[in-house]
C-alpha cells in the first residue's frame, strides 16, 4: 500500500480519499462513539448561540468564538451529530491533501510524493475522536494553510501579501482554539532564527493576525461587552489553565501517539540532509512538537489536542521512509506503523477512559427524568446539560465562581441575583450544597425555588 503513494501523481489524492473512506467504514458500522465533555460543551453552547444568546456575555464559557458560531449555525439543522461527523471527515481529508501538496510544491523531501497524505490518514485513525468535530480540528485546518506559507518562504516563493495571510490564518485558527496562538509565536521566532527579515515583514504578519480580533473587539465594544470578551475568551487561559499534572490515565492516552512521533523524529535527525529546505523543515516540525507539548500542559487535558500531532507525524514518517536505506527494516516499518496505529485506535474505542467527572471521556450521558428544561448546575458536572437547556449565564463553573465565591459580599449577591433573574433556570442541581447559603443571603430565592429531592431545586410556576 505504501508504495502506491510514492509516485508524484496527483491521482494519489483520489487513492488517499478511497483509503480514508475504506478505513472509516468499520467505525461507521461500529455505532455510537463515547461522548466527550468537549462535544457536550459544543452542543450546549451551539444551541444557546442558535437561540440568540451571546457567547462570553449571555453564556459564560471559554469556547473559541468561531467555534461557538459554527456550532450555532449547525444547530439550525436537525441531525446535528451527522452533520458534525461529515464536516469533520471533510476537514480531515482537506488538511491531509493540503499538507501533502504543500510538501510537494516546496520540495521538502527532495522528491515529490504523496506519502504525507498516507501517514496523515493513519495518524488520524490513532484516535477514536475522528468523527468528532472539534475546535482543535478546525484550527488545524488554518494552521496547515499557515504552514504552507512558512515553507513557501524557505523555498523562495513568498510575497508580501503572503506575510499578511500568514498572520490572518493564525488569527482565524486562534479564534477557533485560542491556545493555537502558540504556533504563530513559533513561526515568528522561527523566522527570526533562520532568516534576516526586516521589521516590516513581522509587522505585516502581526497586522494580519490582529485584523479579525480588531473587528470582533469593535463589535463587542459597541454592544457594551468588550471586557467580557477579553476576560472569558483570552485571559481565561492565563487565569485557570497552567497545570503541573495531567493525570496517569491522560498520560497513557498521550503516550502512544506522542512517543511514536518523537521516535520517528529521532531517526529523521540522523539522516543526511540534501538541501536547506529539508534541514529547515525538519527543525520546523521539531518546534511544532514543542508547541504541541505546551498546548497539552497549558490547557485542560483534551484528547482533541492529539490532532495537532498528525502533521509532524506524517512528515517524519515520510522523511524516514524516503531516506532509510535498509530495505528489510523499511518493509517491517511499512507494515508495523499501520498495525500499531490502527490497534491504538481500536483500543481507544473498546477501552475509553472511565474516571472522574472532569475526565475528558464520558461513556454515556446521564439518564435524567427531566428533558429539555432550563438547568443550572452548581458544580463541575456538565453532563446534566446534555439533555437540557442552559438557564442563566453560568455554564462553565470555574468562571461562575467569580460571582459565587463572593457570596458573602453585597456586590456578589447582587450579581448572582440579577443573573439568575434575567434567565431563570427551571431546575437547579446543587452538587456542592450551595443553595442553603444562597437562600440565606438572598431570601427572595426561597419564593422562586423549592426542593423535593435532595439537592434538586424546582422553579415554582
**Roughly how many angstroms between the first and final C-alpha of the chain, as a whole number?**
65
- Per-residue pLDDT, averaged over 132-139, amounts to 91
- Per-residue pLDDT, averaged over 18-30, amounts to 77
Name which of 302, 355, 386 is nearest 47 in CA terms: 386
Give the confidence band of 220 by pLDDT, cuts at 50, 70, 90: very high
Q: What's the CA gap between 4 and 12, in Å, rounded?
A: 8
Asked whether residue 357 carries a pLDDT value surpassing 60, the answer given is no
Q: What is the pLDDT of residue 330?
A: 64
Q: What is the pLDDT of residues 88-103, one digit of tens each?
A: 889 999 999 999 999 9
Q: What is the pLDDT of residues 438-451, one digit of tens each?
A: 888 888 888 888 88
CA distances (Å), 313 to each of 88, 256, 261, in order?
20, 12, 5
Q: What is the pLDDT of residue 363?
A: 40
Determine contact, residues 223/276, Cβ cutoff 8 Å.
no
Q: What is the pLDDT of residue 165?
A: 92
Determine contact, residues 262/285, Cβ cutoff 8 Å.
no
Q: What is the pLDDT of residues 60-79, one digit of tens each?
A: 998 999 999 999 999 888 77
Q: What is the pLDDT of residue 179?
A: 92
Torsion-angle region of 157 (φ positive above 0: left; ψ -120 to 50: alpha; else: beta): alpha
Asked whether residue 275 carries a pLDDT value surpassing 70, the answer given is no
Q: What is the pLDDT of residues 362-399, one digit of tens each?
A: 444 444 456 678 888 998 888 788 777 888 889 988 88
Kindly state the percentage of the chain with pLDDT values over 70: 77
Most confident residue range from 61-65, 158-162, 409-413: 61-65
**What residues have CB less than 8 Å from 10, skipping those under 6 apart?**
none
Give the confidence band of 355 by pLDDT, cuts at 50, 70, 90: very low
DSSP assignment of 381-432: -GGGGTTSEE-SSB-SHHHHHHHHTTTTSHHHHHHHHHHHHHT--SEEEETT
Q: What is the pLDDT of residue 256?
A: 59
Give the confidence band of 270 by pLDDT, cuts at 50, 70, 90: low
Q: Counting Cβ atoms within 10 Å, is residue 417 exposed (0-12), middle (13-18) or buried (19+)?
A: middle
Grid cell of 185 as nine digits: 509565536
Amino acid at each position: 500500500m505504501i508504495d502506491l503513494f510514492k509516485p508524484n501523481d496527483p491521482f494519489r489524492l483520489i487513492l488517499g480519499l478511497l483509503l480514508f473512506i475504506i478505513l472509516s467504514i468499520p467505525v461507521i458500522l461500529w455505532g455510537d462513539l463515547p461522548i466527550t465533555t468537549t462535544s457536550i460543551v459544543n452542543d450546549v453552547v451551539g444551541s444557546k448561540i442558535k437561540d440568540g444568546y451571546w457567547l462570553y456575555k449571555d453564556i459564560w464559557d471559554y469556547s473559541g468564538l468561531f467555534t461557538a458560531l459554527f456550532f450555532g449555525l449547525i444547530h439550525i439543522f436537525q441531525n446535528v451529530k451527522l452533520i458534525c461527523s461529515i464536516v469533520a471527515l471533510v476537514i480531515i481529508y482537506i488538511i491531509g491533501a493540503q499538507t501533502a501538496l504543500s510538501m510537494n510544491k516546496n520540495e521538502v523531501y527532495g522528491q515529490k510524493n504523496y506519502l504525507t497524505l498516507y501517514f496523515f490518514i493513519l495518524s488520524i485513525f490513532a484516535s477514536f475522536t475522528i468523527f468528532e468535530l472539534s475546535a482543535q480540528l478546525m484550527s488545524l485546518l488554518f494552521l496547515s494553510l499557515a504552514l504552507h506559507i512558512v515553507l513557501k518562504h524557505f523555498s523562495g516563493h513568498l510575497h508580501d501579501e503572503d506575510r499578511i495571510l500568514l498572520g490572518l490564518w493564525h488569527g482565524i485558527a486562534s479564534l477557533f482554539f485560542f491556545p493555537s496562538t502558540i504556533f504563530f509565536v513559533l513561526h515568528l521566532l522561527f523566522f527570526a532564527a533562520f532568516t534576516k527579515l526586516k521589521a516590516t515583514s513581522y509587522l505585516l504578519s502581526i497586522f494580519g493576525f490582529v485584523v479579525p480580533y480588531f473587528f470582533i473587539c469593535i463589535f463587542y465594544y459597541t454592544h457594551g461587552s468588550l471586557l467580557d470578551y477579553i476576560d472569558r475568551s483570552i485571559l481565561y487561559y492565563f487565569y485557570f489553565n497552567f497545570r503541573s499534572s495531567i493525570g496517569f490515565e491522560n498520560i497513557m492516552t498521550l503516550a502512544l501517539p506522542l512517543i511514536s512521533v518523537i521516535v520517528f523524529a529521532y531517526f529523521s535527525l540522523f539522516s543526511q540532509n540534501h538541501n536547506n529546505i529539508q534541514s529547515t523543515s525538519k527543525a520546523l516540525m521539531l518546534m511544532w512538537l514543542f508547541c504541541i507539548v505546551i498546548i497539552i500542559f497549558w490547557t485542560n487535558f483534551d484528547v482533541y489536542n492529539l490532532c495537532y500531532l498528525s502533521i509532524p507525524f506524517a512528515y517524519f514518517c515520510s522523511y524516514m521512509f524516503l531516506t532509510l536505506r535498509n530495505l528489510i527494516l523499511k518493509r517491517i516499518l511499512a507494515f508495523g506503523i499501520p498495525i500499531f496505529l490502527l490497534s491504538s485506535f481500536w483500543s481507544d474505542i473498546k477501552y475509553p477512559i472511565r474516571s472522574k467527572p472532569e475526565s475528558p471521556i464520558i461513556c454515556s450521558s446521564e439518564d435524567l427524568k427531566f428533558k429539555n428544561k432550563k438547568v443550572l448546575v452548581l458544580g463541575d458536572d456538565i453532563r446534566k446539560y446534555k439533555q437540557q437547556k442552559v438557564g442563566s449565564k453560568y455554564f462553565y463553573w470555574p468562571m461562575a465562581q467569580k460571582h459565587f465565591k463572593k457570596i458573602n459580599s453585597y456586590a456578589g449577591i447582587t450579581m448572582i441575583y440579577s443573573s439568575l433573574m434575567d434567565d431563570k433556570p427551571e431546575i437547579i442541581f446543587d452538587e456542592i450544597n450551595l443553595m442553603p447559603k444562597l437562600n440565606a443571603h438572598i431570601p427572595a430565592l426561597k419564593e422562586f425555588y423549592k426542593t423535593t429531592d435532595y439537592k434538586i431545586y424546582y422553579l415554582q410556576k
